[in-house]
Amino acid sequence: MSKRIKVLKTYKIFIDGKFPRTESGRYTQLKKDNLTIANVCLSSRKDIRNAVLSARNAFESWSSKSAYNRSQILYRIAEMMEGNKNQFIEELILQGEEFNKAILEIDQSIDRIIYFAGWPDKINPIFGSVNPVASSHFNFTILEPMGVVGIVASEENSLLGLISSIIPIILSGNTCVTIVSEKLPLCAISLAEVISNSDVPNGVVNIITGSKDELAPHLAQHMDVNALGVNIDNKELKNQMFFQASNNLKRVVDVSKYKIEDSSFESPYIVKKFMEAKTTWHPIEKDFTSTNNY
Amino acid sequence: MILDLKTKVDKLGIEDRVSRITKRSLKSEAKLQGLKMILSMIDLTTLEGMDTNKRVEQLCYKATHLHQELPELPNVAAVCVYPNMVKTASNSLKDSEVKVASVATAFPSGNSSLEVKIQETKEAVFNGAEEIDMVISRGKFHSGEYNYVFDEIAIIKENCGDKARLKVILETGELGDYDHIRLASEIAIKAGADFIKTSTGKIKPAATLPITLVMLEAIKDHYYNTGKMVGMKPAGGISNSKLALQYLVMVKETLGNLWLDKHWFRFGASSLANDVLMQILKQKTGVYQSNNYFSKG
Amino acid sequence: MSSKIKSLKYNGKWDFSTSIESIENLSIQKEYQLFINGKFQKPVDKKYFPSINPTNEQQLTRIAKAESKDVDMAVNSARAAFNGQWGEISAKQRAKYIYRIARIIQEKAKELAVVETLDGGKPIRESRDIDIPLAAAHFFYYAGWADKLNYAFPNRTPKPLGVVGQIIPWNFPLMMAAWKIAPALATGNTVVLKPAESTSITALLLAEIIKEAELPPGVVNIITGDGSTGNLIVNHPDLNKIAFTGSTQVGKSIMQSISGTNKRSTMELGGKAANIIFEDAPLDQAVEGVINGIYFNQGHVCCAGSRLFIQESVYDVVLRKLKDRMQSLVVGNPLDKNTDIGAVNSKQQLATIQKYIDIGVKEGADIFQLNCELPKSGYWCPPTLFTNVSQSHSIAKEEIFGPVLAVQTFRTTQEVINKANNTPYGLSAGVWTDKGSKAFNLASKLKAGVIWANTYNKFDPTSPFGGYKESGHGREGGLHGLSPYLNLE
């Protein structure tokens, strides 16, 4: 009996719920010990454009889902990951992580999703407010999602870092376009597959592989992106992005300030940074009462 | 009858507008001119259970002799009395331009049969009333019987004939909210009221600025819909010049020049005239006045 | 409405006599200095610029122009105060200083209102009833937060940022200073503030008040100058934050300047707000809201309701009401208590407004202006509205910052949501409807930081204010106005 030939996985990018190859047709070879592990798409600015378009189209329906519903969908991602643990562990090891650390990272990642999955319906009770204005108005402030967020995920922590970038941003109703780790992209594509199977509507999460130097500026300049969550150490690129972001006053959050591995990262304050406060006024009618003196 | 029930009123919005109106500052010439206009628009009123012929005669005298030191002043617009005093008032005022107005239709409650109301109106007009101040049936209004309210006004109007103008009192203090006041205004206007009037003076709140504004807006919409002018009379609670001037500013800024005339705007008040006189004298002399120098009633 | 019915006339029969607010006992100095380290001092370069009364184009006074060395001194004194006395006193004591400022503003309310009107051209009714009381209220509100910050941010220990640079516009000079300074002080920061070039005086009166309140030297520094002074502040290396209120264009360039630094920022920028009237709205009150929305403060308001959307079924009646209501607006001397629309703030701004009015006419929109007599000297613009406007007209897209309203129509809710959101701005929006469910729907769909439902242009220190999209980021007012001045990490 001849030896079974293993079926190799094709790593494609994730745009609008589909898995296309980059429109540019370019790829790079990910190697380990001089053996090719995978061919990874070297995406182009047109892929960024398509991804932003898809994220924009998805925003209305994702943000208008009930918080309870978003909560369940995020929980579903964690469930699906739990079932696909082995694949992630394999990929983490392929990318050079030790077995024990790989297990720790996948467990931490799943637990982190569970942590954030509980937040969608708890952000506003904590950070919203009813404001006691002096005039006869009912006045309240709630936090709303910003829209399309451009994410540049960390180079290290290819799974936990990615989860920590994406989940706190989309839980409030934002959609995102994520440029993932350049040297460790495998888990990102598997995560996309999990997301694709987890009731997350198409376009809410878009995942792009390729050169950050090339792609990130296009994301930073895009006029239909509302905010950036940037977790990179390359100071030059980061500054360039923040400079470019001012063209339409994108909100920028430097995620590299936070210790992703640390449990202190788990807080609603990171969620709040990608939300916008909206205050609504409405008059309150006060009755007049009559008395008679017949 | 087709009623435009759609028009809504936002209470706070009305009050905001009023607060802006009350911030108008009236000085010198504008103030004097305004005060004189107010005097000319007053319906000098006595509506008490203990009214007597003598009391009515005294009031009529006052209506035509406001102040001997200020002979150039206008007369008040009308004297308003109960139906049984119409003859007396009519006799006292026969040589003057001051109109005789009479409340009718079981004032102030309006709770009587239509026959009685018609009879009362006929009598008052027969006895010389040139203006009839009727009250609407608030009970019927609150039970949603708008057609009844409408028909009643229309019949009274018919009985006023061309001898008397009809003022319809909504008794706004019993209507509950501004949307109701707006609706009642429209019913009265469409049923043929020559004037709409806030109050009997027996219920608090009587006239207020916001209530008056709601009614003025109804009058304005009617004007633009039909070209017909309807008069307005706030009554009760307007006892000083400052407040009366604010009403006048409201008329100016809501309905404009045409309504700044006693034919289209009245104040139902008993003590306002003296305060206006004191203010006019103060404007002329620069000295603050005392009640002692102004005849009461 | 039948065309035979004559429009009502509102003027000529009984007009208001002038009623000028007294300016006796008012002393405006011949020259104003920089307020640095608790003292008024002359600028190092001894340069001054004039402050003009926009109603008569006369010079009111001259104001010191801060140059690089002055900015350094101001920042250094703020840094020293932050590291020293201000950083050391307890939050409770800090609160009391801020309360003092609120009280002194109330005591000097009339003087401040008159100066605000003289210097900026806004009606005394507004400076007296809105600007100054709100400025005092803002200090009073934030004073109370100083020793309660731990309750505002669960699971965090808030810390001040350090020294904050603040640059404010000319439309609400004192009120904007209060919006900036009060939360900064309550959270324990120290301040370098620059008022707008054309309206510096009340900020310097506030400096006197701060001195009178005995705040430690250097806690608040107020330096004056034009855009170049602003640039020096923005680029000063020893500031921890820039808080800016002004145009979107300048906001973007500030963001570029501070990108790559550790400076935090709040930007409160331009707007092109939609004010939406549905057919079921309380129309007369809606019209009043439109008037307040666009003609308040000569339209020099970032949240002005400059785009009016009227549902087609009530278009004629709303427009008629609006034009009638405009007849009662009094344009003229802002010191007159009856004035509704005062002077345009500066020659330059008048030119901008006029440019847009010309463009509106050229692009084919129909203009309607209040036919009123304007004073001979000074900068004036009568209340103006354009009909026959579409989304692509410049006057419907760009911020004019003047009393110019662009009126459009719509048929359905979805249509008006699309039109209203079809702008890079997102500061505020107005909705007028009698139907609660519709109001809430619009409130959630409109992309703007402040939604006024059945009301417009209301402000309160407890109520957060600030924009979406290119109208800026960060909030001022309320609980949400605290975090931009705190480090919560």
Give per-residue pLDDT as tens, A255-268: 999 999 899 999 99
For residue C447, give the chain A residue with the closest CA. Answer: A278
CA dihedral B232, B233, B238, B244 (to 10 degrees): 40
Query: Which of A282, A286, A288 is most worth mutating to test chain B (most B CB atoms within 10 A of its CB)?
Result: A288
- Taking the C-alpha atoms of residue B138 and residue C125, their distance in angstroms, rounded to an integer, is 41
- Residue A290 scores a pLDDT above 70: no
Q: With contacts defined as CB-CB under 8 Å, which chain A residues touch C424?
A: 248
Q: Residue C458 and residue A246: Cβ atoms within 8 Å?
A: no
Average pLDDT of B131-155?
96
Average pLDDT of C88-97?
97
Give per-residue pLDDT as tens, A15-45: 999 999 999 999 999 888 888 889 999 999 9
Q: With contacts defined as CB-CB under 8 Å, which chain C residues touch B255?
A: 8
For residue A292, give the chain B residue with the closest CA. Answer: B203
Chain B, 77 to 116: residues with Cβ < 8 Å from chain C are none
Q: Give yes or no for a contact between A141 and C464, defined as CB atoms under 8 angstroms apart.
A: yes
Give per-residue pLDDT as tens, C343-360: 999 999 999 999 999 999
Residue B50 belongs to domain with CATH number: 3.20.20.70
Residue B98 forms part of a structural domain: yes
Residue C361 CA to its chain's centroid (Å): 28
Residue B255 forms part of a structural domain: yes
Q: How far apart are the first and last CA of chain A?
A: 111
Indicate the residue of B12, B174, B205 with minimum beta-carbon distance to A285: B12
> Which residues constitute the domain of residue B44?
11-293
Classified as helix, coil or strand, B87 is helix
More confident residue, C412 or B297: C412
Q: Give yes or no for a contact between B201 and B268, defined as CB atoms under 8 angstroms apart.
A: yes
Other C-beta atoms closer than 10 Å to the C-beta of A178 total 27
E strands present in C81-203? 159-160, 163-167, 190-194
Residue B245 forms part of a structural domain: yes
C21, C197, C268, C476: the catalytic one is C268
Helix (H) or strand (E) holding B190: helix B178-190
Q: With contacts defined as CB-CB under 8 Å, which chain B residues touch C295?
A: none
- The answer to whether residue A124 neighbours chain C at the CB level (below 8 Å) is no
Torsion angles phi and psi, residue C385, rounded to 5: -140, 150
- The answer to whether residue C252 neighbours chain A at the CB level (below 8 Å) is yes
- Residue C310 scores a pLDDT above 90: yes
- Residue C164 scores a pLDDT above 50: yes
Residues forming a β-bridge with A38: A30
Q: Residue B25 and residue C9: Cβ atoms within 8 Å?
A: no
- Residue C139 scores a pLDDT above 50: yes
Give per-residue pLDDT as tens, A207-226: 999 999 999 999 999 999 99
Phi-psi region of C454 (alpha: psi -120 to 50; beta: other; left: phi over 0): left
Amino acid at B125: V
At the fourth CATH level, the homologous superfamily of domain C31-269+469-487 is Aldehyde Dehydrogenase; Chain A, domain 1 (3.40.605.10)
Residues 6+ apart with CB under 8 A from B54: none
Residue B5 forms part of a structural domain: no
Half-sphere exposure of A4 (CA within 13 A, CB side): 3
Domain extents for chain C?
31-269+469-487, 274-453
- Taking the C-alpha atoms of residue A245 and residue A233, their distance in angstroms, rounded to an integer, is 17
CATH code: domain C274-453 is 3.40.309.10
- Taking the C-alpha atoms of residue C35 and residue C27, their distance in angstroms, rounded to an integer, is 19
Least confident residue range of B67-76, B189-198, C57-66: B67-76
Q: Residue A131 and residue C449: Cβ atoms within 8 Å?
A: no
Q: Residue A292 and residue B10: Cβ atoms within 8 Å?
A: no
Residue B6 forms part of a structural domain: no
Average pLDDT of C397-408?
98
- Please confirm, yes or no, whether B197 is among the known catalytic residues: yes
Give per-residue pLDDT as tens, C196-245: 999 999 999 999 999 999 999 999 999 999 999 999 999 999 999 999 99
Query: Which of A144, A248, A249 is most worth mutating to test chain C (most C CB atoms within 10 A of its CB)?
Result: A249
Q: Give yes or no for a contact between C448 and C454, defined as CB atoms under 8 angstroms apart.
A: no
B43, B133, B194, B275: the catalytic one is B133
Q: What secondary structure does DSSP assign to C142-160, as a single string?
A: HHHHTT-HHHHSTT---EE
CATH code: domain A27-283 is 3.40.605.10
Other C-beta atoms closer than 10 Å to the C-beta of C104 total 19
Give the model's pLDDT for residue B4: 55
- The ipTM of this complex is 0.96
